[in-house]
A and B are shown apart, each in its own frame.
Chain A
Amino acid sequence: MTDKKYIWIEIGLVVILIVYIIFINGFYSGGTDKSIAEVSKPVTATLKGSTLSKKTNGDAVKAFGFELDKTDGIMYYAADNVMDVSEVLIVKLKDKTDAPDFEEKIRERVTNQENLYKGYAPKQYSLLQNSIVASSGNTVFYCTSKTANAIYEAYKNAL
């Protein structure tokens, strides 16, 4: 093969890389310009009649180990009964690149909860195993609930 052919292959691969970056940017971008209150509204509507009550940002920080200064708003609902693991959390981030870190902290929390409840509360353990952790652009979502799928749908539609 001649040197020129190699160069054309290299240029072709660089072009493919650029197209690929454009593609994954579309895949990973998303999120919302809406405030946390606007995103939360339809989600909290799905929680009516549940055992969950609204918690403070401080509660979320304590439970998940978040850094508050990296957030642009938090919606956190949890059960008051310590034997109920149900929780719903939405975090709007200042910088969407922090989303993986927040997801990791949420997963650590889920793991800790699983370890706590595994031995003696199989129903709660099962709920934790089916919990949903997801992010979309600058928002991170977490839910452990019997109606997790419906709550997740409400969150996605709210973005």
Chain B
Amino acid sequence: MVFSSTTFLIAFLPVTLIAYYVIGVKLTKNITVKNIILLLASLVFYAWGEPLYIVLMVISILFNYTVGRAMASSRETGNSKRVKAQFIFAIVFNLGMLGFFKYIGFLFGTVNSVFGTDIQSLAFPLPVGISFYTFQILSYIIDLYRGNIEVQKNPISFALYISLFPQLIAGPIVKYKDIAKQLSFRKENADDFSRGITRFTVGLAKKLIFANTLGAVYTIIQNGGTKDLSVVGAWIGIICYTLQIYFDFSGYSDMAIGLGGMFGFRFNENFRYPYIAASVTDFWRRWHISLSTWFKEYVYIPLGGNRRKTPRVILNLMIVWMLTGLWHGAAWNFVLWGVFYGVLLILEKYVLAGALEKIPTPVRYILTMLCVMVGWVLFSSPSLAAAGEYLGVMFGGAEFINSQAIYIFSANFIVIILGAFCATPLYRKALRSFSIQTIGKLKMAAYPLLFILCMIFMISETYNPFLYFRF
């Protein structure tokens, strides 16, 4: 089930909210009842699209809950060897499960192409959200092993942590330690609920008004192939994709944070205007923050982080960024995308640091966006060869402009410019020229209108999956 569907907005969400507030908050005032309602809703939400894979998630929940209890039990009896064995078992199980369902086809495909073999692999559709919930589970297991958190003894709370529907399918990746207290105590209030609704509406608008519209432009350009593509057309295409992926993913995160707020949860921010970054390092402090911090905390720092000698730090960075690329998808273009960022970050850190300081900030913005857009070509292309062809056209390997580019730009320039404007905090600055009372009145009028506009967009579109669902 997707947030931007009539099933979710008209049936699932109202029923869940009514059940939660009437039974959980008003009648019983019991956190366990509230959690059970949310857990049931989350399981229905997940099973709606792929009922077979609900079993996989339930097995994962039961296994990791048991491992957590076993680790705590062994620790109480002072058996540190058994704690370690349980920890390794859990890591192997979770990474094995993720590897099996996400990467086995990629692995066999690579072996076949390298050795010229024709080994038929087991192949399954990717379980939706597996990369997100596996990383959440790993945060629990690793922090438990490190002794940073208490074991979760309540199976309902543990299951809810893994399956909580607002962030289950496309993040943000919520670390257990950030939400542990909220699983056993949370106070819902009208302010959070109201903020949740407005945040959800903003996310819905990002998805339906901008991401889907701009995505359609890029699809037309990409499906046309590079044969009739001009330099300007290729740039329009990748600008549209750049905006699409931001509005799509940050829109989902907004909706997740908003929904969390409606049920009394507070999730950390996942985006901070990444397209105003003045360096690639800055970009990754603003883009998919929950993933970057996960890798930093659970991979980069344990590898030694910045504390080692330069060659080792470079190796650590490359490992982390290869894994980041691979996390996004089982294909070589994602690996290359990760390596591309690894190299850029190393260059910024060790080679260009001084030089970048001297460059005027607007030029740094432009350079960063160029790097980001080249990255999105690698990311969005169906193969490395296709990415190479597209980049070739972008950088002069075709006629400069043709009628296709003029038509596409003239038909879409308003949404492109509006999208670019809304992807920056400029609109917030524009609002500051009004008084607080005026802003309040504007918001009172704007959010219902925005919601109605979203409904119109949603009814006119029958299929609108989120890009990050496939990760």
Contacts and interface: CB of A to CB of B under 8 A. Distances in A.
Interface stretch (B68-76, B333-341, B343-351): B68-76
Contacts of A97: 105, 109, 121, 123
A2 B82 CA distance: 12
B89 A10 contact: yes
Interface string B79-110: 10010001001000100010010000100010
Given A3-B77, A3-B82, A114 B69 contact: no
Given A65-B222, A129-B462, A1 B73 contact: yes
A134 interface: no
Interface residues of A, number: 39
A64 B223 CA distance: 7
Contacts of B66: 6, 9-10, 13
Interface stretch (A17-25, A36-44, A77-85, A147-155): A17-25
A13 B461 contact: no
Contacts of A16: 59
Contacts of A20: 55-56, 59
Nearest to B61: A13
A67 B383 contact: yes
B59 A108 contact: no
B407 interface: no
Contacts of B154: none
Nearest to A22: B122
Contact of A6 (B59, B70, B382): B70
Contacts of B222: 65
A110 B463 contact: yes
Contact of A67 (B82, B86, B382, B463): B382
A112 B217 CA distance: 11
A108 B460 contact: no
Interface in A111-159: 111-112, 114-115, 118, 129
Contacts of A7: 70
B52 interface: yes
B57 to A, nearest CB: 11
Given A13-B59, A24-B52, A97-B105, 13 more contacts: A3-B73, A3-B82, A16-B59, A17-B59, A17-B63, A28-B124, A29-B123, A65-B223, A95-B109, A99-B125, A107-B463, A112-B219, A114-B462
9 contacts: A2-B73, A3-B74, A3-B82, A6-B66, A14-B63, A17-B63, A17-B97, A29-B123, A97-B123
